[in-house]
A and B are shown apart, each in its own frame.
Chain A
Amino acid sequence: MLHIVACIKQVPDTKIIKMNPKTNTMDRASAPAILNPYDAHAVEEAVRLKKRYGGTVSVLTMGPPPAVKAIKKCIEIGADEGYMISDRKFAGADTLATSYALTKALDKISKIQPVDLVLCGKMTIDGDTGQVGPGIARRLDIPPLTSVKKVEEVNKNDGFVIVHRKIEDGYEVIRSSLPCLMSVEKEINEVPYSPFPNMLRAARYEPHIWSVDDLEDVDVKQLGLKGSPTIVAKVWAPPKPEAGKMLEGTPNEKVEELLSIVLEKKELFQAKGVSQ
């Protein structure tokens, strides 16, 4: 029986977030909070592995109280248990402080049931770094496997996994000892619509919520803003490129003008006909 923990985060939907042009800050209220899309794939993969090998899927998040909603979403996908660490002392954490706090929570979860496999998403769409997963692995002293696009085998008896890891032009097949941590690519699976019974369960589900004082051996200096080596010094709106020239006239005239502009760069067309 495997115990898989997926680390998940609630994020603002950055695709539709509005910016305040005067202050260059995000109007968080303008964007709904969603489960980080990449993490949904991590949870889905955990659920699939559970179906294949049997076991338990837990999800873990660090975030403010409304993040309970993201946990419920994971229960809908098929997770069994949800853990949340929530405390003002965690606020303002960069990836180093985040991986520290999550590792302390994972230590506590391990005492409830030892953890075989930790899954993370490729990255969050707000932090956008992909650094938290490998950070957790280093702190737990287990191998980090990043860019995983397929899990071929998980063998708890013999203590190993075999995965496909995406590289620049193909993939590598890696064997790693278990326990380990994987950051998964989006292409690893598709997240289907949640089955109705899961939705019912999610609606009633109450996650375990811990504050800093519920965790053991925590060095508060390593938490939150204080424990974060990186600081955001300046934030600005990306410069808008200057709008260019609009070509006028009938479609034929526009195409003709474009052609004469582009063909000035003749030298580029020598590779013409090179097939794809």
Chain B
Amino acid sequence: MNFEEYSGVWVFIEEQEGSVAQVSLELLGAGRRLADKRGVALGGVLIGDNVKSLAKTVFEHGADVVYVYDQEIFTHYRTESFMKALLHCSETHKPEIILFGATSNGKDLASAVATDLPTGLTADTTELDVEEDTGLLLASRPAFGGNIMATILCKKYRPQMATVRPKVMQALTPEPGRTGRLVEESIDLREQDIRTQVLEIVKSTTKKVRIDEADIIVAGGKGLGSAEGFNLIHQLANTVGGAVGASRDVVEAGWIEHHHQVGQTGVTVTPKIYIAVGISGAIQHLVGMKNSGMIIAINKDPNAAIFEACHYGIVGDAFEILPLLIKEFGKALSMEEVDHVREV
């Protein structure tokens, strides 16, 4: 394998509801940094039906080149069709690094492509760096249930591949009018060559709070005792206009649905304020919220691990502190509102 032939950092661009997925913008930010350090181009790979117009966004977020496969057969994400396009692109243009969001589809695609190439694939990366001279990708990730961090290398194969957790990397501020080279590609692929069909897409009807987008999260743990006790979390969240988060044990107890779970096997969140009540602070929970702007912990056990991870801690009984907080926040915030009205 001649490494000289491989150049450039690529990001697989995921489309979501007709726009570029947030995670892809974050990866363009991370990719830009790697590409600059190496002095190579940053590429985005766009696969879909009617997706060419998204190239603009990709350029504005840092890409120098966008490779587009715009064909009807790519209307829905399917492993086999997308994999063939990406393999074609990689074999034609030979990147040294390809990054994917660690989403359902990103992980699915990356695993298939890595097997066919073949090359190494690092999963769920949370830190990325590159060796300037060799181009070796340093992909670090939590391992063994978050108990350790490990840096994974792929020395003997190109391209090097990694899936990267959403909400960890920083997207660049878009630069309006920034543009680059658009490379239009296509592959010869017929419907009968693909062994799966998407029959239907069912969007969940209950409107979900996207807790990963909330500025304030009030999260509750097993310490709330019961589903009724957990209601206090909902009340406080309502009072402050925040979203509700939960530990895994709470989800497993059935007090709240899984999409509220914060942590390694839940959602990674970075709100401005994270209030953790009755949560012990297991490492698997911490990895999902440790980058929050301000972490406030309330727990009756002064030795709870959560206190090692918070900015402000209150040792106390949730059933005493929460009603006080709800009352005081309620008062303070409605006063703020009055102030606000007066100013106008």
A residues touching B (Cβ–Cβ < 8 Å)? Answer: 12, 14-15, 17, 19, 24, 26, 94-96, 99, 125-126, 128-131, 133-135, 137-139, 142-147, 162, 164-177, 180, 187, 228-238, 240-241, 243-247, 251-252, 254-256, 258-259, 261-263, 265-266, 268-276
Cα separation A228 to B114 with both chains bound (whole Å): 12
Provide the B227-271 mask, 1 if CB < 8 A to any CB of A, else 0: 000000010011111011000000000000010000000000000
Given contacts A245-B313, A255-B328, contact A128 B152 (CB under 8 A): no
Q: Is the CB of A230 within 8 A of B104?
A: no
- Complex-state Cα separation, A65 to B257, whole angstroms: 39
Could you tell me the distance in whole angstroms from the C-beta of A238 to the nearest C-beta in chain B? 5
Min CB distance B344 to A, Å, is: 13
Looking at chain B's contact residues, the main secondary structure is mixed
CB atoms of B197 and A169 under 8 A apart = no
Cα(A202)–Cα(B308), bound, Å: 45
CA–CA, A180 and B79, complex, Å: 13
Are A170 and B201 closer than 8 Å at their CB atoms?
A: yes
Q: Does B124 contact A (CB under 8 A)?
A: yes
Given contacts A14-B147, A143-B195, A245-B311, contact A130 B324 (CB under 8 A): no
Cα separation A14 to B142 with both chains bound (whole Å): 12
* Interface positions of B from 184 to 218, Cβ below 8 Å from A: 195-204, 208-209, 215-216
With A129-B124, A238-B148 in contact, is A269–B209 under 8 Å at CB?
no
Query: Is B134 among interface residues, defined by CB-CB distance under 8 A?
Result: no
Q: Which of B2-10, B49-57, B105-113 contacts A (4 or more CB under 8 A)?
A: B105-113
Q: Is B120 among interface residues, defined by CB-CB distance under 8 A?
A: yes
B312 lies within 8 A of A247 (CB) = yes
Cβ of B153 under 8 Å from chain A: yes
* A146→B108 contact, CB < 8 A: yes
Q: Please tell me which one of the listed residues A128, A146, A168, A274 contacts residue B145 in the complex, with CB atoms under 8 A apart.
A: A128
- B312 contacts A230, C-beta separation under 8 Å: no
Given contacts A168-B104, A259-B329, contact A237 B157 (CB under 8 A): no
A52→B124 CA distance, assembly (Å): 36
Which A residue's beta carbon lies closest to that of B291?
Answer: A241
Per the 8 Å Cβ criterion, residues 265-303 of B in contact with A are 272-273, 282-284, 286-287, 290, 294-297
Q: When the two chains form their complex, are residues B147 and A268 in contact, meaning their CB atoms are under 8 A apart? A: no
Q: Does B182 belong to the interface (CB within 8 Å)? A: no
* A235–B104 CB distance below 8 A: no
Given contacts A233-B151, A243-B307, A269-B216, 15 further A-B contacts (CB under 8 A): A126-B143, A130-B107, A130-B111, A138-B115, A146-B108, A170-B201, A230-B152, A232-B151, A233-B138, A236-B149, A241-B309, A247-B312, A251-B324, A259-B329, A272-B241
| Chain B, range 304-323, C-beta contacts under 8 Å to A | 307-316, 320-321
Task: Say yes or no: A232 contacts B112, CB within 8 Å.
Answer: no
B337 within 8 A of A: yes
Q: List 23 A-B contacts (CB under 8 A).
A: A14-B146, A17-B147, A26-B144, A26-B147, A96-B115, A96-B118, A126-B143, A128-B143, A139-B115, A144-B108, A168-B16, A169-B208, A228-B120, A230-B122, A230-B154, A232-B151, A233-B151, A238-B287, A241-B290, A244-B313, A245-B311, A258-B325, A272-B333
B119 interface contact, C-beta 8 A: yes
Q: Is the CB of B104 within 8 A of A19?
A: no
Which chain B positions have C-beta within 8 A of A269? 216, 240-241, 333, 336
Q: Which residues of A contact B325 (CB under 8 A)?
A: 255, 258-259
Decide yes or no whether B178 CB sits under 8 A from chain A.
no
The dominant DSSP class at the A interface is mixed
Chain A residues within 8 Å of B120, by CB: 94, 96, 228-230
Residues of B within 8 A of A271 (CB): 215, 241
Residues of A within 8 A of B91 (CB): none
Contact across chains for B314 and A258 when beta carbons are under 8 A apart: yes
Task: Give Cα A175 to B111, complex, Å.
Answer: 21
For A234, A247, A268, the residue with the greatest tally of chain B CB atoms inside 10 Å of its CB is A268
B93 interface hit (Cβ, 8 Å): no
- In the complex, are the beta carbons of A266 and B336 less than 8 A apart? yes
> Are A273 and B258 in touch, CB under 8 angstroms?
no
Q: Which residues of B contact A270 (CB under 8 A)?
A: 241
Tell me which residues across on chain B come within 8 A of A131, comparing CB atoms: 107, 110-111, 114, 121, 123
- Residues of chain A within 8 A (CB-CB) of B76 are 172
Instruction: Provide the residues of chain A in CB contact with B287, threshold 8 Å.
Output: 238
Within the assembled complex, what's the spacing in Å between the Cα atoms of A17 and B157? 33
Are B145 and A14 neighbours in the complex by a CB distance under 8 Å? yes
Query: Is residue B155 contacting chain A, with contact meaning CB distance below 8 A?
Result: yes
Shortest beta-carbon distance from A151 to chain B in Å: 14
Residues of A within 8 A of B111 (CB): 95, 130-131, 133-135, 138, 144, 146
B306–chain A nearest beta-carbon distance, Å: 10
B150 beta carbon closer than 8 Å to chain A: yes
Q: Which residue of B lies closest to A19 (CB)?
A: B147
B103 within 8 A of A: yes
What is the distance, in angstroms, from A185's C-beta to the closest C-beta of chain B?
10
Q: What is the CB-to-nearest-CB distance from B159 to chain A, in angstroms, rounded to a whole number?
A: 11
- With A166-B104, A174-B199 already in contact, the answer to whether A233 and B153 are too (CB < 8 A) is yes
The reply to whether B324 and A252 form a contact with Cβ atoms under 8 Å apart is yes
Q: Which residues of A contact B332 (CB under 8 A)?
A: 259, 263
Chain A CB within 8 A of B116 CB: yes
Cβ–Cβ < 8 Å partners of A165 in chain B: 104
For the complex, is B181 an interface residue (Cβ under 8 Å from A)?
no
Most chain B C-beta atoms within 10 Å of own C-beta, residue among A94, A129, A171: A129
Task: Report yes or no: A173 in contact with B115, Cβ–Cβ below 8 A.
Answer: no
User: CA A211 – CA B76 in complex, angstroms?
Assistant: 42
Residue of A nearest to B282 (CB): A15
Inter-chain contacts of A134 with B (CB < 8 A)? 79, 108, 111-112, 115
B72 on interface, CB distance cutoff 8 Å: no
